[in-house]
Structure 1
Amino acid sequence: GPNAGHSVEFNGEKYGLRLTPSGFVHTDAKMLIGAGVLVDPEVFMHEMEYLNKYDVKERTFVDYRCAIIEKQHKERDQASDHLFKKIGSTGTGCGPANSDRVMRVAKLAGEIPEMEGHTTNVPLEINEALDEDQDVFIEGSQGFGLSLYYGTYPFVTSKDTTASTAAADVGVGPTRIDEVIAVFKSYITRVGEGPFPTEISQEDAEEMGIEEYGTVTGRRRRVGLFDMGMAKESCMINGATQIALTCVDRLYPQCERTQNYSDLSSEIKKFIDEIEGETGVPVTIISTGPDLEDTIDLRDELL
């Protein structure tokens, strides 16, 4: 839902998004939001206008069975001392809306006028695309460590965040998945409360140049070093077949915007080797900067 923000930088322009899939920059791609995703109509409509230069309104649709976040859900979220103050909820109404979905009282996208003309049958569209050998990319949001089942409970989000659930949320069966890419940042961040074994002080984060702020809340993120134990568990539970390693340039500024693996320092290569050795999963994509072009793609060499 709109509780997890993601930043996309393309051709030097930066976009902060909450619902629209990051593939919007590909103007021939169709963006579909599956039934397992909560939709706030205000956020959805704002992003359709915000990204109008990419004509997203004509190619972005939500499943008619998506549960709707209403004003009262946001009010309940922000008024809850447990959710908003203890857990550190983003206050976007996702927990209460998911609660109403479980109680079978949530409104669905196909039932409200605000979403008229913006809904479709997402599983049917995706599976027909697969039948025609088209490429389908399923994007999940929020980290594995925030999974309702496998994360740092109770300091987690209101749903499971694993690859299996992402596939189920858009109506794709497990036999149709070819690759599972686990996306690891070179260091860890989290917004809100909860255990954080590798956390470092904000002063150390500033000194390392890796301080961050949340896309949705604007709150300063807590920062920690790479957690190999969590990486191994994430690869195991998600069934990862590839790893995309991002923000390498933030940890190792000397490699900023590098596009060739051979140009990386021995220190970075050692870090990558350690991740591959511990997880048993190849690192196939390395991000060395914020723009889409700042990427080292090793998939042709390793797959």
Structure 2
Amino acid sequence: MANVVVVGSQWGDEGKGKIVDWLSEQADVVVRFQGGHNAGHTLVIGDNVYKLSLLPSGIVRGKLSVIGNGVVLDPRAFVAEVKKLKEQGVSVTPEALRIAENTPLILSLHQDLDRLRESATDGTKIGTTGRGIGPAYEDKVGRRAIRLMDLADLSALRPKIARLLNHHNALRRGTGQSEIDPEALYQELADIAPQVLPFMDDVGALLDKERKAGSRILFEGAQGALLDIDHGTYPYVTSSNTVAGQAAVGSGLGPGALDYVLGITKAYTTRVGEGPFPTELTDETGRLIGERGREFGTVTGRARRCGWFDAALVRQTIRTSGITGIALTKLDILDGFETIKVCVRYELDGREIDYLPASQAAQARVKPIYEEIEGWRETTAKARSWADLPAQAIKYVRRIEELIGAPVAVLSTSPDRDDTILVQNPFQV
């Protein structure tokens, strides 16, 4: 039995919710290993729709769920999401959910700083959700973060708050903001502590025990690999590593615990926020894809930018995440197009290249080189076997496999979890 890592192979929003839910039903343990409550997963189970931002998807399936140390945790958002799930009939108990003791916390001051930077007029707008994720990771790397375990020893918390505020109050003074009162921050943390501390655990040891006992572990990524802080379209990226290797680092296990990497890949391309997007369509076709695909963010409600499938980008993600196979989603959105374009490489300053360069300036200058593929008139929606698909749709899928250098393990043809064509079960490699 394999342990599986699920990552988005584009800029996120690839339809991970459905695939992760399908896999979590087979898993024993589900782990979130990076990001914060800026990521959204929509799960449709029967007549119930669950919108999760922080909690692992397995929580609605009654599976042991884990928030790893690679996540930054907003304790107020956590409490609010637990309450919302309870209202939908899902009880989140310490027996069902564990949070790494060394998980850094997102505080209100992080959100203040995030929003302040996004409202600046100096050209640094990144397009963040304003939820404090970036500043919280900065404090983690700066070795001044307040971590979950710190709430268990309130007597030692004040000196840590003072160290944190030495940094943040200087920033606030420099931007004309009022300083944070250390006692107010202490009280904020002391008040929330009893609501989150019962979930605290040494999750690295917990997961190692589960692995040795033969449990199936599903590592659930947020965002997409092209938003990775190292390997994404910097600086228009998130603040954590989103590639598959982070599943080990962000959960307290070694890389040997990762057996299969499933890359969730949309049959076209979307992006939220700022940054380069070589295949973006700003015409009627792009609008039509967005409407058909209901391309609006789960967390923010922002309309997503839409474009043709970019094989050059996905090839890079397959390399940086070591993707074993892909789950191709939303094929049905392309039904009815006379021709469909796929970007196979780029033109940069008069020469052809087969990768997206790391330079921000070069990324802005690349032009997509397209291959045109004949479309299909028949519907692919709700197909559950290859026999249900139009021949030309199968050709499109096969051509994508050739261009990206990875097989399609799962094909999704609607948001309904049963409308799935399984080629290879990642848990059974």
When normalised by structure 2's length, the TM-score is 0.67
Partner of 1:256: 381
Tell me: CA distance 1:293–1:251, structure 2 relative to 1, closer, same or farther (3 Å).
same
How far is 1:280 from its partner? 2.5
1: CA distance between counterparts of 2:242 and 2:145?
21
Does residue 280 of the first structure (1) align with residue 363 of the second (2)? Answer: no
Partner of 2:93: 57
How far is 1:84 from its partner? 10
Which of 1, 4, 10 pairs up with 2:45?
A: 10
1: CA distance between counterparts of 2:425 and 2:407?
12
1: CA distance between counterparts of 2:99 and 2:38?
17
| AA matched with 1:45 | V
2: CA distance between counterparts of 1:106 and 1:188?
36
1: CA distance between counterparts of 2:131 and 2:47?
29
How far is 1:24 from its partner? 2.6
When normalised by structure 1's length, the TM-score is 0.93
- The 5 A counterparts of 1:60-99 are 60-80=97-117, 81=120, 86-99=125-138
2: CA distance between counterparts of 1:227 and 1:12?
34
Does residue 43 of the first structure (1) align with residue 124 of the second (2)? Answer: no
Tell me: CA distance 1:89–1:215, structure 2 relative to 1, closer, same or farther (3 Å).
same
How far is 1:83 from its partner? 10
The answer for unaligned runs of 5 or more in structure 1 is none
Partner of 2:67: 33
1: CA distance between counterparts of 2:49 and 2:219?
22
Q: Which range moved further: 139-148 or 263-272?
A: 263-272
Q: Which range moved further: 245-254 or 89-98?
A: 245-254
Does residue 199 of the first structure (1) align with residue 276 of the second (2)? Answer: no
Give per-residue Cα distances to partners, 1:169-211, cap 9 Å, x unaligned: 0122111211111111112211111000010126323323235
Does residue 214 of the first structure (1) align with residue 250 of the second (2)? Answer: no
Which structure shows the bigger proportion of residues in strand conformation? 2
Which of 320, 345, 350 pairs up with 1:237?
A: 320
2: CA distance between counterparts of 1:259 and 1:25?
25
Kindly report structure 1 stretches of 4+ aligned residues shifted beyond 3 Å. 82-85, 300-303
| AA matched with 2:266 | K
Give per-residue Cα distances to partners, 1:198-233, cap 9 Å, x unaligned: 101263233232351111122111111111001111
The answer for unaligned runs of 5 or more in structure 2 is 1-35, 152-192, 337-378
How far is 1:167 from its partner? 2.2
Does residue 135 of the first structure (1) align with residue 216 of the second (2)? Answer: yes
Give per-residue Cα distances to partners, 1:101-149, cap 9 Å, x unaligned: 1111111112221421011111111111110111000011111111111
How far is 1:72 from its partner? 0.6
Partner of 1:103: 142
Give per-residue Cα distances to partners, 1:223-277, cap 9 Å, x unaligned: 1111100111111111111111112222238121221122111222112111221
How far is 1:300 from its partner? 5.5
Partner of 2:243: 162
Which of 4, 8, 20 pairs up with 2:55?
A: 20
2: CA distance between counterparts of 1:251 and 1:22?
28
Tell me: CA distance 1:84–1:124, structure 2 relative to 1, closer, same or farther (3 Å).
farther
| AA matched with 1:241 | T
- CA RMSD of the aligned region, Å? 2.0
How far is 1:6 from its partner? 1.7
Tell me: CA distance 1:79–1:129, structure 2 relative to 1, closer, same or farther (3 Å).
same
**Does structure 2 retain, via aligned residues, the 8 Å contact 1:242–1:281?**
yes
**Does structure 1 retain, via aligned residues, the 8 Å contact 2:224–2:242?**
yes
**Does structure 2 retain, via aligned residues, the 8 Å contact 1:202–1:222?**
no
Tell me: CA distance 1:146–1:83, structure 2 relative to 1, closer, same or farther (3 Å).
farther
Does residue 226 of the first structure (1) align with residue 226 of the second (2)? Answer: no
Tell me: CA distance 1:34–1:188, structure 2 relative to 1, closer, same or farther (3 Å).
same
Does the residue aligned with 2:79 lie in a helix, a strand or coil?
helix
Query: What is the number of residues matched between the two proteins?
Result: 302
Does the residue aligned with 1:275 lie in a helix, a strand or coil?
helix
Please tell me whether Structure 1 or Structure 2 has the larger radius of gyration of its CA atoms: 2
**Does structure 1 retain, via aligned residues, the 8 Å contact 2:69–2:101?**
yes
Q: Which has the higher contact order (CA 8 A, sep 6+)?
A: 2
